[in-house]
Every structure is written in structure tokens, then in C-alpha cells.
């Protein structure tokens, strides 16, 4: 396959699947976010809606709403539905049918049993329609007695007999039925609707997840794991059932599995003699995880026993090769985070300290720290066991000597510190610590404090860690006395200020408007605009210490390219702009809920995309909360590779989103133009997407629909993520079926609950697509059913043309692991350290200093802008003109009225 390979074919036919989780709250269940129809992708002049023929539409083409709850029964309308008890034969037939379907057989036994319990009996006469072709899917059925026929376009295609299930895709979403099913004779069926099915699966999985989490938290071996590592561990647990008398482990066998008992009782015997019994919450086999040793006892089930287990190999995949070393490092991290004096060190500084600590084991009664040892010269961390100190017992996860590191005195300890148990202690001297941190601890702490504040300054958020570190070194501390004027309104600004201590009052035209204190900042615009007049007077309110960065020092550190980027960002942060200051240029796009216009600031000529959403449609589709969620999500995001929301407006007719205007092509079209990517180009786009996902996930946002169509390549050649219609704040796990079939992770399809790790699966699909020009699962399939089947089969294959020395294959295998925990290798930092990214400069990427693979060729907007400024049309009149004739077409009950002031955030 040559590099000129065009990316067209099956993928262009796919619909996107929207959330299908009626068991979630109502807002999520009917999330028809307007942003999905009036896409945030802003089209340049070369992008016409008729660019592709109808047979070559993109993934973003007609979508199926699968989040709406099922208010009324729309299938098998003539059936008599009852909760008749199931006989053993009924249960056997239903279970066999469920296990024959690839989606359903991936559920655990508890979920399947609960689904069976919730199935209702449908009794229906001959020649009756169960569901019509084209109608939205609602239920899955198992034919118990009688026969039914499958009709497609009015022609019989098949006759179904008892024991056959049909309609299972309705359990995922409400896509239109592909055929009509009609009874031939009187029939009985067992049926379950999507709401009941998803609620059952969610309840079982949510309860299991929380219970497993409590078990993991209660096991000392895992106490030193970080929260993200515990979450990763939870995804790797396997549930097993054992019957009375079965031996779970045998004395003398090699063992590498660790078990936690969730239900039942087991007997523990040595050499045939019972030494104890264990029950729910007990665990065994932990030594096998560390050392892969022989079993020292036999564990057998006394009654029906349920356990969750994890193997050494799975644990290594999730956490890394050396579990003991990981636990040791985590213990150090926890101890330092608990220390008030050390927690302010940077992550890099802490890791250097850990690298240089020396570890020593002490036995009970041994002296760990002799009396007369001078305070302030050493740091000890207890990583195992306990120590009897002068006042109390010092346990694991505790530091000794950390407070004294910052004191000037050298007073000796008055008593010995004695090990009470077998105890392991990590030790490092103050001198070695200061080598690791790069200076005196007191100064390092202050610099770190300033660094954290600089990271919060909106203007500086795009700068890399090294650049921020340089700015910290350029800061000068200045003291001000009570009532001293720091600067006056209308003074020319030359410096930026951060309050280190004290408070200042801010006044405009002689009127005090606010008081700001420690770690607040002011005057940042003077770093960009040297001749800018101060907009307020700032006066010290009591003694004040400020860190000050002046214009000259700032520009000795950042270059003109960075300045240009900062200028663009600060324009997008100007939320003082009013609706009347906008001039219409042209219509960019039109959707079901509103339109997107290109608008320009009347004096600055800054370009924006203005999205309008009609209140009438918000009410008709009851998407009040979804509109608010869209706004909240976008206001959380401030990244150079994510489309920026500037501000929102409202009036009695519409809500408005004023956004960054992104000129360019979407990545889907760019890939078509470029053909197959070489590994360097693929690495560029992959690294950009890694940075974007990291930004989202840090804010507990899951994107859930990562694919080329949702990524714009801007006029500089850098990606920009758009369209947050399926994004969601998630604290833990969610269960909504959402996404585009070819890019959906297995756990979304199965409905067992998922986290942000689904986005990394989608990235894995995209990396495969970058390199090989196709998606790895279901490339030749048009039907979502077939795509899901290929994903769950998980036959990941690579072309023979791939260079065997390339590290892209291991990266793709990692990202496309069925075990979510493996996808990032434990963290995004670990993913960045993957061999495929070796020698990749991540700082250059964020500073936009790396060579881009492709720059879109775009027509100039100059003529349209000149015409717009010449004609000076009224924006509101233009909007009303394009809305003329728009109708609200909603086939549902009368919509509910919103809560009073529901839009107060706009």
C-alpha cells in the first residue's frame, strides 16, 4: 500500500452512537446537546457541505439518539405482558440464548442472572407485529413458543423458531430496526427493554466495583498504592466461583495468584490439618504476588465461594516489573505528602530525593537513631514496621526530622529511637537533599510556591515548565509599607506582581472595588503591552511583600513566537466584549438546534465563531441541563490545542456561545490528503492528542468520542479538539453507551462501567489509522453490530509491511489492551516514556516549536471581511434572516417547562 492511499470506504458510512443510559440521571439520559448538531468545527471557505457525495459521509453524519428514556411501550403493542415466574427450562433456554450473543456473553454471571430475573413474558397472537422496520429499537426478545418471520422491505428473509433471540442491539441504543418482525402463529416471548437491562447491569457492576474497592483499601499490601494505581488494580480483578470441596490452591504448588473472598467460607489446611477458616473480606496468596513462591497451605471451599483474584503477571502489566520497589516508592511519596515541610517540593525534586535515599533494615530492639544525633541534618522515612520515639510510636508512612530541616539550630535528640518490629527505614542527609533540590530548602520552597502561582496565571498557562522556572528565577521581591501606592491608575505598566504576603486594595476612579491577598496577582497585561495604562490604583493595606517580574526580564526569556501565541490567547480571554461589538461576516454552519456564524470585533477585527441556540428548541428537546453542561465544560478548558469558549450571551429568544474561530481542515480530510503517515508525522499528532487528553482528564472530563473528525488542523498545522457534545464530568465510573462504533472501547459496548481510560483506547485506534490507513476492528463492516463483534473478539493484527524494529506496534497493543489499566502503563507520564516516544521533545510541542506534518491551504478571508466592514450589517438581523422558516419538529409529549432562572449562568 503506497503513501498515496486515499482514506475512503466503509468508515464513511458509520453513524455515531449517542449515550444510551436511561439508568443515569435524566440529564445524561436525554443528552441531545446542541453542540453536536451545530458542530464546533468551524468550516473554512474550502469546506462545503456537498464536498462528499451522500455515499461518503463522515462518522459525524446522522446520529442515533440513544440516551432518551423509554416513556411508552412502542413495541409488541398487542401483546399481553406479565411478570410470570420462569421455570428451570425457561431459565436454561434464556441463558443459552444470551450466551450465544457476543455482547451479552461478555457480561458477568451476576449481571446475566439479574437480566434474566427482570425479563417479562410477552404473549401475542398470530400475524401481529412485534416491531416495524425503521422504528427505534426498544427491547431484546427470546422466542419461547411459536414462530416469527423477519421481513425486510416487505419481503420475508427468515423464519425464527423457539430458542432464538433477536433485537439485541436495542439494549445498546435506539437505532432504527433493520427489519420488521411479525408473528406467524401465537407466540410467547421473554423480553427486556433497554432501560431495565442497563439498570440491571449498572447496579451489579457498580456494587461490585465499590465492594472491590473497599477490599483493596483494607489490605495492608496495597496501602502504599496511589489512588490511580488502586483504580488500575480494580480493572484487572477477575471473579471466580468455587463449589463445596473444590481446592482453590494446593499446598506445595507453584502460585502466582492473590485472592480476596467476597462470599462463602474456605478452609485453610497444612499437611491435612485445618489451621483456620476464612470468610468474606479475608485474603490469601499475597506472597505469591511478590515472590512467585510455592503454596504453604491448601485452601478449599466449604460452601459456594466467590473470590476475586489477580495474578502476578497482570499486576506487573498494571504497575510495573518490581512490585516491591513500587510499593517502597509509593510509601516514600505518601510520607512526604503528609509532611507539612516537604510536600511543597516539586514532583521532580521529590523523585531525586527518593533516588538518593539509602535503605536499612532494623530488627526489634535495635537503635535506629542514636541519642545525641544532631537535629536538622537528616531525614528518615519509615517504610515498614514501627519505631518507638521520645513521645509516641512512629508508624509506616511517617517522616522523622523533616520539620527540623528548616531550623537553624543543631540541638541533639535526647533519647534513642528504637525499632519495635522488623523495620525498614530510608535515610538521606540535608546536604544530599539540597543537591537534589538545587539550593537551600527555604529558598527552594519559596521558588516552588511562586512557580505554582505562575501556573495559575491565565496569560502564562501555555508556557512549559522550563520557561516558568526561568521566570521564577527572574522574580524580584519588593516590600511595601502600609498605604504605599504600588502604582496609580493610568500609569504606564512595566511590571507584573504576585502578592507573597499581606493585602492590597484596588481602586478605580477613587472607588475601592476589592481587596486581594496572598497569592493573588495583578498587572499581567503589562508583560505583553509595554505601553498599557494601568486600569486601577493598587495600594498596600498594611505591610506587603510582592514578587515582581518586569517587562524586560520577561522578554529575555520568551521569544516572539511565544509572544504571538500569548497575544492570541489573551484576545480570547477578553470577556468584556459585548454582543453589539460584533459584526456578522458569514454563516459557517447550520444544525438542528441553531447556527454558527463568523463574526468580527468592530474595532479590533478579531474573528470569532458565534453559535446560536434557539430557546424554543431547548424547551422542545428539554436540553436545559445539557446546554449548561456544555458551557461548564468549555469554561474548564484552557489549552492551546482545545477550542476556547470566550463568553456566552442570552436574550429572550436565544442563547449564544462566542468561541475561538478555528480556520483549517479536520484531521479526517488531512489524512485523506496526506495518505499513510510516516512514524514521525504520526508521532506528532499522537503526542498532541496525548497532551489534550491529559488536560481533559486532569479536570475529570471524559471526551468519549475521539476520532479524526473531531480534531481540526489549524492554519499553523497544529491539532485543536472541538465538539464537546459527548464529554462528561466523571468522578469514578460511568455506564453510558456513547461514541462512534469503530472507536469505542470494549467496556463501553458491554456496559460494565468505564473511566477516562476509554479515551486512550480511541487514541490507539487513531494511531493504527495514522500508520496503516484503516481502523483495526471492523474495517470492512458497515453495521455497528458487526463492528462491536470485531472489537469484542479483539483480533488485533498488523500488516506484514511493518518494520519489526518499530516501537509503534507495542504502543498500539498497549493502548488497545482489553484491560483498561494497561493502556497508559499506569499514568500519562509512563505513556510519555514509552520507547516509541524516545527523544521526543514534549516542551517544544507545547511551545509550538516542532515541525508540523501538514499546513492546510486556505483561501483568504480578506474580501469577505472588507465587505462585512463596508456593509456594517446588523448581527441580529442576519441571525433572524437565516432562522426564517426554521421549525421545531419533535414527536414527543408536551415538553416540561424549565426551572425559573435556569439560564442564570449565561
776 with 742, same domain: the answer is: yes
Strand partners, 726: none
Identify the CATH number of the domain in which residue 381 sits. 2.60.120.10
CATH number for the domain harbouring residue 769? 1.10.510.10
Strand partners of residue 400:
380
Q: Is 27 exposed, middle or buried (0-12, 13-18, 19+ CB in 10 A)?
A: middle
**Contact yes or no for 904/612 (Cβ under 8 A):** no
Q: Are 752 and 709 in the same domain?
A: yes
pLDDT, residue 607, reads 92
pLDDT, tens digit, for every residue of 547-593? Answer: 999 888 888 888 777 777 777 766 776 677 899 999 999 999 887 77
| Closest to 118 (Cα-Cα) out of 232, 206, 202 | 202
Instruction: Answer whether residue 105 is part of any domain.
Output: yes
Higher pLDDT, 6 or 568: 568
Separation CA 616–CA 653 (nearest Å): 7
Q: Give the pLDDT score at 189.
A: 95
Assess whether 399 and 536 both reside in one domain: no
Residues 387 and 272 in one domain: no
Could you tell me which residues come within 8 angstroms of residue 94 by beta carbon, excluding any fewer than 6 positions away? 86, 116, 119, 142, 190
Q: Return the pLDDT at 611.
A: 93
The single-letter DSSP state of residue 162 is T
* pLDDT tens, position by position, 229-268: 888 888 888 888 899 999 999 988 887 888 999 989 999 9
User: pLDDT for 653-683, tens place per residue?
Assistant: 999 999 999 999 999 999 999 989 999 999 9
* pLDDT over 50 at 779, yes or no: yes
Same domain, 683 and 809: yes
Torsion over CA: 192, 193, 195, 197 (sign): positive
Domain encompassing residue 679: 10-17+665-846
pLDDT given at position 41: 37
CB atoms within 10 A of CB 54: 8
Q: Which of 313, 286, 305 is nearest to 297 (CA)?
A: 286
b vs e for 562-587, b when ≥16 Cβ sit within 10 Å of the residue's Cβ?
beebbeebbbbeeeebeeeebbbbee
Pair (730, 811) in one structural domain: yes
Percent of the chain with pLDDT over 90: 45
Q: Which range, of 35-44, 202-211, 366-375, averages the lowest pLDDT? A: 35-44
Q: Would you place residue 893 in the very low, low, confident or very high pLDDT band (cuts 50, 70, 90)?
A: low
Residue 889 has pLDDT above 80, yes or no: no
Residue 127: strand, helix, or coil: coil
Last residue of a domain, one of 812, 829, 846: 846
3-state SS string over 14-27?
A: CCCECCCCCCCCHH
Nearest of 459, 499, 509 to residue 479 by alpha carbon: 499
pLDDT of residue 204: 86
What integer pLDDT is reported at residue 654 of this predicted model? 92
Same domain, 298 and 327: no
Share of the chain above pLDDT 70, in %: 89
Q: What is the mean pLDDT of the chain?
A: 84
Q: Grade residue 892 by pLDDT with cuts at 50, 70 and 90.
A: low
Measured distance CA(139)–CA(174) in Å, rounded: 9
- Same domain? 298 vs 334: no
CA-CA-CA-CA dihedral for 569, 570, 572, 576, to nearest 10 = 170
Half-sphere exposure (Cβ direction) of 709: Cα atoms closer than 13 Å: 18
Please, are residues 123 and 79 in contact by the beta-carbon 8 Å criterion? yes
Spatial distance between the Cα atoms of 517 and 504, rounded to a whole number of angstroms:
6
Residues 681 and 821 in one domain: yes
Per the structure, how many domains does the chain have?
Answer: 5
Q: Do residues 141 and 93 touch, judged by C-beta distance below 8 A?
A: no
Residues 6+ positions from 587 with CB-CB distance below 8 Å: 595, 596, 597, 598, 882
Mean pLDDT along residues 206-212: 88
Q: What is the pLDDT of residues 492-541, one digit of tens each?
A: 988 989 898 999 999 989 888 888 888 888 887 788 776 678 888 999 99
- What are 821's three cell numbers? 489499566
pLDDT of residue 272: 87
Query: What angle do helix axes 808-815 and 757-772 make, rounded to 10 degrees?
Result: 140
528 in any annotated domain: yes
Has residue 472 got a pLDDT over 60? yes
The reply, when asked if residue 435 is annotated as ligand binding, is no
pLDDT of residue 323: 75
Is 795 within the bounds of a domain?
A: yes
Q: Where are the beta strands (DSSP E) in 643-710?
A: 645-650, 654-660, 664-666, 701-702
pLDDT for 311: 84
Chain CA centroid to CA 18, Å: 17
At 33, list the grid cell. Answer: 446537546
| Residue 356 pLDDT grade (very low, low, confident, very high; cuts 50, 70, 90) | very high
**Residue 562 resides in a domain:** no
Burial 640-666, CB ≥16 within 10 A → b, else e: bbbbbbbbbbeeeebbbbbbbbbbbbb
Is 31 exposed, middle or buried, given 0-12, 13-18 or 19+ CB atoms closer than 10 A? buried
Contact 159, 108 (CB under 8 A): no
Q: Which long-range contacts (CB under 8 A, 24 or more apart) does 53-57 make?
A: 55/12, 55/13, 56/8, 56/12, 57/12, 57/13
If we measure between CA atoms, which residue out of 122, 114, 162 comes closest to residue 139?
A: 122
pLDDT tens digit string along 374-412?
Answer: 888 999 999 989 999 988 899 889 999 998 888 766 789
In a domain, 770, yes or no: yes
The larger pLDDT score, comparing residue 149 to residue 290, is at 149
Q: What is the pLDDT of residues 38-59, one digit of tens each?
A: 343 333 323 322 223 223 345 4
Cell numbers linked to 341: 515541610
Pair 702, 756: CB distance under 8 Å: yes
DSSP designation for 785: H
The more confidently predicted of residues 33 and 847 is: 847
pLDDT of residue 152: 93
Among residues 503, 524, 557, the one where a domain terminates is 557
Q: Which residue has the higher pLDDT, 660 or 895?
A: 660
Instruction: Establish if 312 belongs to a structural domain.
Output: no
**pTM of the complete model:** 0.77
Last-in-domain residue among 533, 557, 581: 557
DSSP conformation class of 739: B
Give the pLDDT confidence score for residue 45 in this predicted structure.
Answer: 29
* 705 given a catalytic annotation: yes
Does the residue 146 lie in any domain? yes
Q: Which of 12, 65, 402, 705 is catalytic?
A: 705
Burial of 114-129, coded b for 16+ CB within 10 Å and e otherwise, reads bbbeebbbbbbeeebb
DSSP letter, residue 176: B
Among 136, 150, 188, 143, CA closest to 165: 143
Q: Are 298 and 328 found together in one domain?
A: no
Residue 38: per-residue pLDDT: 39
For residue 863, pLDDT over 60 is answered with yes
Residues β-bridged to residue 360: 425
Q: What is the distance between the alpha carbons of residues 873 and 859, in angstroms, rounded to a whole number? A: 23
HEC-encoded secondary structure of 722-734: CCCCCCEECCCCE
Task: Give the H/E segment covering residue 304.
Answer: none
Query: What is d(CA 37, CA 33) in angstroms, rounded to the nearest whole number?
Result: 8
Contact 596, 588 (CB under 8 A): yes
Alpha-carbon distances, residue 892 vs 336, 426, 856 (angstroms):
58, 67, 43
- What is the pLDDT at residue 410? 75
Same domain? For 394 and 295 the reply is no
Q: Residue 458 — very low, low, confident or very high, per pLDDT cuts 50/70/90?
A: low
Would 158 be classed as within a structural domain? yes
The DSSP symbol for 171 reads G
Do both 736 and 792 map to the same domain?
yes
Task: Give pLDDT, residue 830.
Answer: 86
Mean pLDDT of 429-440: 89
Contact (CB, 8 A) for 790 and 149: no
Residues 85-133: pLDDT tens digits? 999 999 999 999 988 887 787 788 888 888 999 999 999 999 999 999 9
Cβ 702 vs Cβ 758: under 8 Å: yes
Q: How far apart are the first and last CA of the chain?
A: 52
Amino acid at each position: 500500500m503506497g503513501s498515496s492511499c486515499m482514506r475512503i470506504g466503509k468508515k464513511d458510512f458509520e453513524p455515531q452512537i449517542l449515550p444510551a443510559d436511561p439508568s443515569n440521571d435524566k440529564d445524561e439520559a436525554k443528552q441531545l446537546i446542541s453542540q453536536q448538531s451545530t458542530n464546533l468545527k468551524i468550516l473554512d471557505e474550502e469546506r462545503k457541505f456537498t464536498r462528499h457525495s451522500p455515499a461518503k459521509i463522515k462518522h459525524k453524519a446522522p446520529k442515533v439518539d440513544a440516551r432518551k428514556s423509554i416513556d411508552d411501550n412502542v413495541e409488541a403493542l398487542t401483546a399481553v405482558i406479565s411478570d410470570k415466574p420462569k421455570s428451570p427450562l425457561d431459565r436454561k433456554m434464556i441463558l443459552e440464548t444470551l450466551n450465544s450473543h457476543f455482547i451479552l456473553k461478555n457480561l458477568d454471571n451476576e449481571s446475566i442472572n439479574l437480566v434474566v430475573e427482570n425479563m417479562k413474558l410477552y404473549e401475542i397472537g398470530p400475524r401481529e407485529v412485534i416491531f416495524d422496520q425503521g422504528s427505534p429499537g426498544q427491547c431484546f426478545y427470546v422466542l419461547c413458543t411459536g414462530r416469527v418471520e423477519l421481513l425486510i422491505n416487505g419481503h420475508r428473509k427468515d423464519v425464527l423458531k423457539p430458542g432464538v433471540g433477536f433485537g439485541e442491539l436495542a439494549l445498546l441504543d435506539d437505532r432504527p430496526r433493520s427489519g420488521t418482525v411479525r408473528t406467524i402463529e401465537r407466540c410467547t416471548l421473554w423480553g427486556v427493554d433497554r432501560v431495565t437491562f442497563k439498570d440491571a447491569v449498572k447496579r451489579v457492576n457498580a456494587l461490585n466495583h465499590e465492594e472491590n474497592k473497599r477490599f483493596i483499601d483494607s489490605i495492608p499490601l496495597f496501602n502504599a498504592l496511589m489512588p490511580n494505581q488502586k483504580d488500575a488494580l480494580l480493572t484487572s480483578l477477575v471473579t471466580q466461583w468455587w463449589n463445596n470441596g473444590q481446592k482453590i490452591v494446593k499446598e506445595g504448588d507453584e502460585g502466582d495468584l492473590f485472592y480476596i473472598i467476597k462470599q462463602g467460607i474456605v478452609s485453610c489446611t497444612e499437611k491435612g490439618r485445618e489451621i483456620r477458616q476464612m470468610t468474606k473480606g479475608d485474603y490469601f496468596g499475597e506472597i505469591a504476588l511478590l515472590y512467585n513462591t510455592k503454596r504453604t497451605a491448601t485452601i478449599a471451599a466449604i460452601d459456594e465461594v466467590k473470590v476475586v483474584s489477580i495474578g502476578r503477571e497482570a499486576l506487573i502489566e498494571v504497575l510495573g516489573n518490581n512490585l516491591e520497589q513500587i510499593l517502597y516508592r509509593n510509601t516514600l511519596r505518601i510520607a512526604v505528602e503528609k509532611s507539612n515541610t516537604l510536600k511543597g517540593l516539586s514532583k521532580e525534586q521529590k523523585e531525586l530525593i527518593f533516588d538518593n535515599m539509602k535503605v536499612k533494615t532494623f530488627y526489634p530492639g535495635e537503635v535506629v537513631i542514636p541519642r545525641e544525633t544532631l537535629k536538622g541534618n537528616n531525614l528518615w522515612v519509615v517504610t515498614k514496621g514501627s519505631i518507638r520515639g521520645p513521645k509516641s510510636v512512629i508508624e509506616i508512612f511517617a517522616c522523622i526530622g523533616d520539620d527540623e530541616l528548616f531550623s537553624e539550630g543543631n540541638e541533639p535528640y535526647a533519647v534513642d529511637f528504637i525499632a519495635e518490629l522488623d523495620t525498614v527505614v530510608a535515610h538521606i542527609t540535608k546536604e544530599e537533599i539540597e543537591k537534589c533540590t538545587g539550593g537551600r530548602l527555604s529558598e527552594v520552597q519559596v521558588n516552588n510556591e511562586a512557580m505554582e502561582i505562575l501556573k495559575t496565571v491565565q496569560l502564562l498557562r501555555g508556557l512549559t515548565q522550563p520557561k516558568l522556572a526561568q521566570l521564577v528565577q527572574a522574580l524580584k521581591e519588593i516590600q511595601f509599607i502600609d498605604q504605599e501606592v504600588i502604582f496609580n491608575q493610568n500609569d504606564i505598566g512595566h511590571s507584573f506582581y504576585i502578592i507573597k504576603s499581606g493585602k492590597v486594595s484596588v481602586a478605580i476612579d477613587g472607588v475601592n472595588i476589592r481587596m486581594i491577598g496572598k497569592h493573588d496577582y495583578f498587572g499581567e497585561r503589562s508583560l505583553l503591552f509595554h505601553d498599557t495604562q494601568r486600569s486601577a490604583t493598587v495600594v498596600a493595606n498594611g505591610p506587603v511583600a510582592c514578587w515582581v517580574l518586569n517587562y524586560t526580564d520577561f522578554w529575555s526569556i520568551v521569544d516572539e513566537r511565544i509572544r504571538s501565541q500569548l497575544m492570541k490567547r489573551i484576545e480570547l480571554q477578553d470577556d468584556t466584549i459585548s454582543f453589539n461589538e460584533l459584526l456578522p461576516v458569514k454563516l459557517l454552519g447550520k444544525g438542528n438546534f441553531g447556527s454558527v456564524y463568523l463574526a468580527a470585533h468592530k474595532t479590533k477585527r478579531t474573528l470569532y465563531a458565534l453559535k446560536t441556540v434557539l430557546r424554543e428548541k431547548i424547551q422542545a428537546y428539554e436540553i436545559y441541563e445539557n446546554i449548561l453542561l456544555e458551557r461548564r465544560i468549555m469554561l474548564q478548558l484552557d489549552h492551546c490545542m482545545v477550542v476556547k469558549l470566550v463568553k456566552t450571551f442570552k436574550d429572550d429568544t436565544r442563547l449564544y456561545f462566542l468561541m475561538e474561530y478555528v480556520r483549517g481542515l479536520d484531521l479526517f480530510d488531512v489524512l485523506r490528503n496526506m495518505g499513510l503517515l510516516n512514524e514521525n508525522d504520526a508521532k506528532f499528532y499522537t503526542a498532541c492528542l496525548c497532551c489534550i487528553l491529559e488536560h481533559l482528564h486532569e479536570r475529570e472530563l471524559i471526551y468519549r468520542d475521539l476520532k479524526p473528525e473531531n480534531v481540526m488542523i489549524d492554519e499553523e498545522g497544529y491539532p485543536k479538539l472541538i465538539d464537546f457534545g459527548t464529554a462528561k464530568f466523571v468522578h469514578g465510573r460511568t455506564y453510558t453507551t456513547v461514541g462512534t462504533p469503530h472507536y469505542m472501547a470494549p467496556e463501553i459496548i458491554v456496559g460494565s462501567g468505564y473511566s477516562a481510560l476509554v479515551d486512550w483506547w480511541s487514541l490507539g485506534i487513531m494511531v493504527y489509522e495514522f500508520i496503516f490507513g484503516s481502523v483495526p476492528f471492523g474495517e470492512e463492516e458497515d453495521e455497528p453490530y458487526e463492528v462491536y463483534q470485531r472489537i469484542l473478539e479483539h483480533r488485533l493484527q498488523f500488516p506484514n509491511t511493518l518494520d519489526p524494529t518499530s516501537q509503534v506496534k507495542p504502543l498500539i497493543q498497549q493502548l488497545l489492551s482489553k484491560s483498561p489499566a494497561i493502556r497508559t502503563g499506569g499514568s500519562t507520564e509512563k505513556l510519555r516514556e514509552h520507547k516509541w516516544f524516545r527523544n521526543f521533545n514534549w516542551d517544544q510541542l507545547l511551545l509550538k516549536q516542532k515541525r508540523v506534518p501538514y499546513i492546510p491551504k486556505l483561501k483568504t478571508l480578506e474580501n469577505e471581511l472588507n465587505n462585512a466592514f463596508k456593509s456594517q450589517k446588523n448581527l441580529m438581523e442576519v441571525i433572524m434572516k437565516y432562522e426564517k422558516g426554521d421549525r421545531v419538529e419533535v414527536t414527543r409529549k408536551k415538553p416540561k417547562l424549565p426551572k425559573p432562572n435556569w439560564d442564570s449562568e449565561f
